Structure 1
């Protein structure tokens, strides 16, 4: 990731730009995809088929949206791709009632896109920013509230996933190094992030370890519980 890639505004048509979030000490970022057949949960689809994977994704979106609503924290949804057909950016997406949405910048890595979203939230006046995805059925409003509470006494909060990644990351100041030189979607992400935090001297809080649903085996494990 380039050192400044996350700082540059992404080249979106004006009709896809949303106003900056209102000033608030806490802000939640949600990285998501629009639920479209063949464009979501591709690893899961390889094991159970695209239609079944889409149904699971709808279920995960519903669980995530419920956790976000219960946390009662201002939030912005960052879609991986622009909706098709072109959607009215002044209206919330149906999966995320009441929430503003943006489109992630065309950056080369997930880390660059996350850093960009954090930078915009801090620039909009937030003092504590947390990011989540939509793969973790165990995410709850209580865990989101815990994350923001931990940022009063820690510089970094992480929600470890049992696959070696994380389902949540929060900061009270942007640390670009946490998003650089990572092999995203591998078991090295969490330990590499913790190593960066130690090198930077950050106080780290870790939440409960949860289970992501990315593959057919993950789905079977979740259903088995």
Structure 2
């Protein structure tokens, strides 16, 4: 049986007022939802591209139940859905978003994959080669974790071969301490940790500006099309952005 690496993008269906709210302002809720949809399309297309160079199975690890139809419209063909809402996860000290991440890891490993990875939906330009590199590292013999640190102190990628709940214990999510705390958890349980290239999440006005300027990484065609359609440009100007939505 072929050893496979599952990669699940942490996804929720784009909806105005519920998606990418930290981008409002400078974006309107409708613009933020449009960007969220584009990010999901590009991230899953990127995952599909990676499957051509490594034994990767692509998932959208999603929540909540009932949004499947909305979500499917944003995903690349071949992306499998996996509910990851935290469910009945019982792990002391694991709370909030950590429960969803652990739920996703457990679900993908239970499906028979050798390794399971969670991927941010906020980093549409991660180079495809980084995903291939991560899968290759995880499919080598021995237990380990692979971490993709984000420029804001979080992480855009975490891959595991065993569902170590401790990797998600006592983490102050959505803060600049997430990656450091995750590194500390790996040390505490004696788990080898390999780090990928640092990348950025698009989750506020400053990082949106980085995206608008960036010319490297994955092409992210859906995101670039959304930027052009919404007439977003740098430097970000709230008046300009609002008028583009009218």
Once the two structures are TM-superposed, the CA of residue 106 in structure 1 deviates from its matched residue by 4.8
**How far apart are residue 58 of structure 1 and its match?**
2.5
- Equivalents in 2 of 1:197, 1:80: separation in Å? 27
Structure 1 runs of 4+ aligned residues shifted over 6 Å read none
Partner of 1:46: helix, strand, or coil? coil
- Per-residue CA distance 1:73-95 (angstroms, 9 max, x = gap): 212212222345x749xxx8122
> In the alignment, is the contact (CA less than 8 A) between 1:23 and 1:125 conserved in 2?
no
Q: Does residue 110 of structure 2 align to residue 123 of structure 1?
A: yes
* Unmatched runs of 5 consecutive residues or more in structure 1: 1-21
| Secondary structure, counterpart of 2:24 in structure 1 | helix
Contact 1:69 1:141 in 2 (8 A): no
Q: Residue 110 of structure 1 corresponds to which residue in structure 2? A: 97
User: How far, CA to CA, are the matches of 2:41 and 2:99 in structure 1?
Assistant: 27
Residue-by-residue CA offset, 1:121-142 (whole Å, 9 max, x unaligned)? 2222111111102101322321
Aligned with residue 11 of structure 2, among 10, 32, 48: 32
User: Which SS does the other structure have where 2:26 is aligned?
Assistant: helix
Deviation at 1:24, TM superposition (A): 5.1
Taking the aligned partners of 2:178 and 2:122, their CA distance within structure 1 comes to 16
Of stretches 144-153 and 161-170 in structure 1, the one that deviates more from structure 2 is: 144-153
Higher Rg of the two aligned structures: 2
1:140 to 121, 124, 127: 127
1:145-196 residue CA offsets vs partner (Å, 9 max, x unmatched):
1111112266010001000000000011111011110010100100000011
Partner of 1:202: 191
Q: Which residue of 1 aligns with 2:217?
A: none
TM-score of the two chains, using structure 2 as the length reference = 0.75
Deviates more, 1:24-33 or 1:158-167: 24-33
**What SS does structure 1 have at the residue aligned with 2:74?**
coil
What's 1:17 paired with?
Answer: none
Match of 1:61 in 2: 40
Could you tell me how far apart the structure 1 residues matched to 2:194 and 2:163 are? Answer: 16
RMSD value, Cα:
2.2
2:28 is aligned with 1:41: no
Shift of residue 23, structure 1, vs aligned partner: 8.1
Structure 2 counterparts to residues 1-225 of structure 1, below 5 A: 25-72=4-51, 73-84=56-67, 87=69, 93-96=72-75, 97-106=77-86, 108-151=95-138, 152=140, 155-225=144-214
Deviation at 1:64, TM superposition (A): 0.6
The question of whether the paired residues in 2 share the 8 Å contact of 1:79 and 1:102 is answered with yes
Partner SS for 1:77 = strand
| Structure 2: gaps (5+ residues) | 88-94, 215-246
- Distance in 2, matches of 1:114 and 1:134, equals 13
Contact 1:30/1:133 (8 A) holds in 2: yes
Contact 1:155–1:204 (8 Å) recurs in 2: yes
Partners of 2:207 and 2:38 in 1: CA distance = 14
Q: How high is the TM-score relative to the length of structure 1? A: 0.81
Quote the residue 2:226 is aligned against. none
Q: Deviation of residue 216 (structure 1)?
A: 1.3
